Amino acid sequence: IVFADFFIMNLILWVKGSSAAIPFGTLVAILAMWFGISVPLTFVGAYFGFKEKPIEHPVRTNQIPRQIPEQSFFTKPLPGIIMGGILPFGCIFIQLFFILNSI
């Protein structure tokens, strides 16, 4: 999909006569490198990955369920929302406020 978007963008640049357009030969070379290097390496990696034995857990899990401890104040949703969203937004807002006021 990314290559298709890149090709369409480059096609528009060709039509407009822009100097930013990549030559067609270079575009074909990039596509050939992708199909000639990346795609075969993906299949080779998948082949060797499926030949390996599955990963085993390093320890046995206990069948007796443990009691879950009470959550601390910082693991509850409201403090997480404040620290994860409002606090960084407030810092960036204040910095942008002073930067844009100085302009």
Determine, yes or no, domain membership for 89. yes
Does 41 map to a domain? yes
**Domain annotation covers residue 83:** yes
Say whether both 41 and 81 belong to one domain. Answer: no
Q: Summarize pLDDT for 72-90 with one digit per residue, the tens.
A: 888 888 888 888 888 888 8
30, pLDDT greater than 60: yes
Q: Give the pLDDT score at 24.
A: 83
Is 63 a domain residue? Answer: no
For residues 78 and 48, membership in a common domain is answered with no
- Asked if 48 and 7 sit in the same domain, the reply is yes
Predicted local distance difference test score (pLDDT) of residue 44: 96
Looking at residue 42, its pLDDT comes to 94
Confirm whether 14 is domain-assigned: yes
Show Cβ contacts of residue 41 under 8 Å, excluding neighbours closer than 6 positions.
none
Residue 40 has pLDDT above 90, yes or no: yes
Residue 102 has pLDDT above 70, yes or no: yes
Query: Taking the chain, what is the end-to-end CA distance rounded to the nearest angstrom?
Result: 41
Question: 47 and 5 in one domain?
Answer: yes
Expressed as residue numbers, the domain containing 3 is: 1-54
- What total of structural domains would you count in the chain? 2
Reported confidence tier of residue 50, pLDDT bands at 50, 70, 90: very high
Q: Provide the pLDDT for residue 2.
A: 67
Q: Which comes out higher in pLDDT, residue 83 or 100?
A: 100
